[in-house]
Structure 1
Amino acid sequence: MGIALAEVFAPGEYLRDELEERGWTQEEFAEIIGKSFKQVNELLSGRATLTAPMAQAIAAALDTSPEVWLGIENAYRLAQAEPVSDDIARRAKLRGEYPVRDLQKRGWIPKTKDVEELERAVLAFYQIRSIDEQTPFACAAKRSEYATPLTRIQEAVLLRVRELAQHVQVAAYTERKLRDCLESFRLLMHEPEEIRHVPKLLADAGVRFVICEPFTGSKLDGICTWLDDKSPVIGMTLRLDRIDNFWFVLRHECEHILRADGRDTGFVIDDEVGAILGADLPEAEQAANAAAEEFLVPRKRLEDFINRVGPLFSKTRVVGLALTLGVHPGVVVGQLQRKLQRWDLFRPLLVKVRHILTPVALTDGYGHVIV
């Protein structure tokens, strides 16, 4: 048996009872509170809404508080209002927990105001059955906090990388092919334009390579995942458009593949990987960082350079070291900055590469629209 809710009355009903108890007429009460007869009459008849000044006047005359009368007014108006649709809460939850605006802007889900259609699109994109469910993949490592779940923004980028990778044609993957590919990379590191060969070399080694422009706040640089046991994928966001960051992240992700990181446990995700070099990282991340550092500028060569030249570093000396290593000076600068924690050093040498790479790699974003 249901419980009946108490009937809610307008404040004028309660005021009429108060006036009758005191034996006051409407005219008298209007004179007492300094209001017109019309104002009092309209309030008593329920035709007028109780205002804050009127609540204060009534409270002063009846020795109560304005809050009591305003509370009665609010309760009455809420009781008279039409029930609010559950769609409002559903829309708020969807947009509060998921990057709906960005997903629609990028064309990953349709633009619609219908909450049912919007929810179905979000669930389908995230491959889940309810908006409270976590996207079904595990993470071997991620970001700078490895115990927390992925954010919905990060999940979106990862899922898109995985979707794009399925459309990239590659040869059969073997570890030997990828190691040979790394040796080919060394011949490309002296000039930014040579980066255009990277997607083809990776494809020949059996590695799918895609670029996905990140959403604001995702803070993702590199992604390693596997479509199956024999199909590795490298996704890059290129959000830090610098030659040193590109080569560091690329080599870092290649190391994850060589180690088979993430093959059995899902994604390996690197957040600001170029700057995360602390010893408290998981072993897989430490190994990938160490391999990337050694690949760009061998540690012994970098330390010898710092001990011999520092602190009197100069552009000429940096360029000289780069020539002996066969890499672009920006590659040396990036490693020097990280080693010394001097992010101001020779910044003009950190040339941009995104405009070179996006035209030759499957790219979502940065002006490239994939339907």
Structure 2
Amino acid sequence: MTLVPARMVKPGDVIAMELEARGWTQKDLAEIMGRPLQAVNEIVNGNKQVTPATAHELAQVFGTTPEVWMNLETNYRLFAARKEAGSDDIKRRSRIYSLAPVKELIKRGWIPNILDLDELEKNVCEFLGIGDISMTPSFGVPVSRRHSEAREPEGMAQIAVLMRARQLAKKHKVGKFSATKFKAAIPELLEFSKDVAGIEKLPAFFANLGAHLVIVPALSHSYMDGAVFYAGANPVILLTLRYDRVDNFWFTLTHEVAHLVANHHGVHIDSNLEKPSDVAAEQTADKLASEWLLESVTYEKFLSSSGHFYSRETVASYADSVKRHPGIVVGRLHHQNKVPYSHLRGMLEKVSPYLQKCIDTSYAV
């Protein structure tokens, strides 16, 4: 612990003692230094700072070094600034802001818009599930998550999104979860991928299977597309709609579903993201999601028959034959560099309009 003195001697106090020891007055000192009496009075009272030039003059008057007076001045001004600024408050606020993206939490309405320091600390600690700000936030349960590999995500932003998802999931009523029934329902799930309107039915579909589908828009620097974890006996599938496109939506959703089907356990994460994702599990989930959405046999036939030319018509025709939204096919072509990212983007419909009732809110199904 750093000890802080209750008061600090200012240069003027030492000057006053030196004058008293010599039997001098402030007027005498003013005449000796060739300074106005008012200037000397202000220095003695601490209303005027000791400059390097003044420090040299005082050193000559009292037989000291200039450093003595400069050190006295610096220490006194630092002490005064510490008292005025409330350094403990600044330190506390800095710690709070390092634990969570406070401004975004307030903007989203995840914590009250109260900036009183005590209330802010209380609200952030409650949101993160920690007792006080000396603790390091941890999500507490294993998580499988899909996020950007090209950017460095911030752990505090990811944990905040996960915490919000868990809060929303607690307000949902879902059925009893059975891993066997969940896996058997994959074909039915994929039937919703034919058009974007089918997305509206997904929250109820998953609730009937005992799983929470939660939509929490990504926070800045979280770079997370989705995640899956358990809240008690029920899985929570989190989607952030970081890319509001039908292709990204369906791949992320099936990727997280694949983690559940493959019984992946995920990893524990904290605000430092010290433990990376399970690479093997992520690769397995990618393969399952890819195969579910577009079976490799029919997809390869489509590629070979197209002669490396992919028009809206050929894409739409193939998508219709496999009962998938054309945007899912376009997304695969983009990902594999079969088609430039600037081409066929009109087929990548947004999905958020079909999820308005459940974006960052609890909902009844």
Q: 2:345 aligns with which of 328, 337, 347?
A: 347
Query: What is the total number of aligned residue pairs between the two structures?
Result: 338
1:324 corresponds to: 321
The 3 A distance-change label for structure 1 pair 369 and 92 is farther
SS at match of 1:332: helix
CA apart distance, 1:98: 1.8
2:128 corresponds to: 126
CA contact (8 A) 1:221 1:239 kept: yes
Say whether 1:251 aligns with 2:248: no
The 3 A distance-change label for structure 1 pair 301 and 56 is farther
CA contact (8 A) 1:221 1:249 kept: yes
CA apart distance, 1:251: 0.9
Can you give the 5+ residue segments of structure 2 that lack an aligned partner in the other structure? Answer: 23-27
Q: Deviations over 1:101-145 (max 9, x none)?
A: 222333333333443333233222222223223325143544468
CA contact (8 A) 2:16 2:44 kept: no
C-alpha distance in 1, partners of 2:159/2:309?
A: 45
Counterpart of 1:201 in structure 2: which amino acid? F
The 3 A distance-change label for structure 1 pair 266 and 208 is farther
CA apart distance, 1:235: 1.6
C-alpha distance in 2, partners of 1:251/1:209?
A: 12
Say whether 1:191 aligns with 2:195: yes
C-alpha distance in 2, partners of 1:118/1:216?
A: 20
CA contact (8 A) 1:138 1:266 kept: yes
Which range moves more in the overlay, 156-165 or 123-132?
123-132
SS at match of 1:234: strand
2:40 corresponds to: 41
Counterpart of 2:110 in structure 1: which amino acid? W
Q: How does 1:212-231 map to 2 (within 5 A)?
A: 212-229=216-233, 231=234
1:10 corresponds to: 11
1:292 corresponds to: 289
Counterpart of 1:299 in structure 2: which amino acid? S
C-alpha distance in 2, partners of 1:227/1:138?
A: 8
Q: How does 1:30-179 map to 2 (within 5 A)?
A: 30=34, 37-38=36-37, 40-43=39-42, 45-46=44-45, 48-50=47-49, 54-56=51-53, 59=56, 69-79=69-79, 82=83, 84=86, 86-131=88-133, 132-135=135-138, 137-142=140-145, 143=147, 151-179=155-183
SS at match of 1:289: helix
Counterpart of 1:364 in structure 2: which amino acid? D
Counterpart of 1:260 in structure 2: which amino acid? N
Name the % identity.
Answer: 30
SS at match of 1:187: helix
Q: Deviations over 1:174-202 (max 9, x none)?
A: 23432343212333222211211212222
C-alpha distance in 2, partners of 1:212/1:67?
A: 59
**Aligned-CA RMSD value:** 3.8
C-alpha distance in 1, partners of 2:13/2:307?
A: 84
1:276 corresponds to: none
TM-score by length of 2: 0.77
C-alpha distance in 2, partners of 1:39/1:227?
A: 72
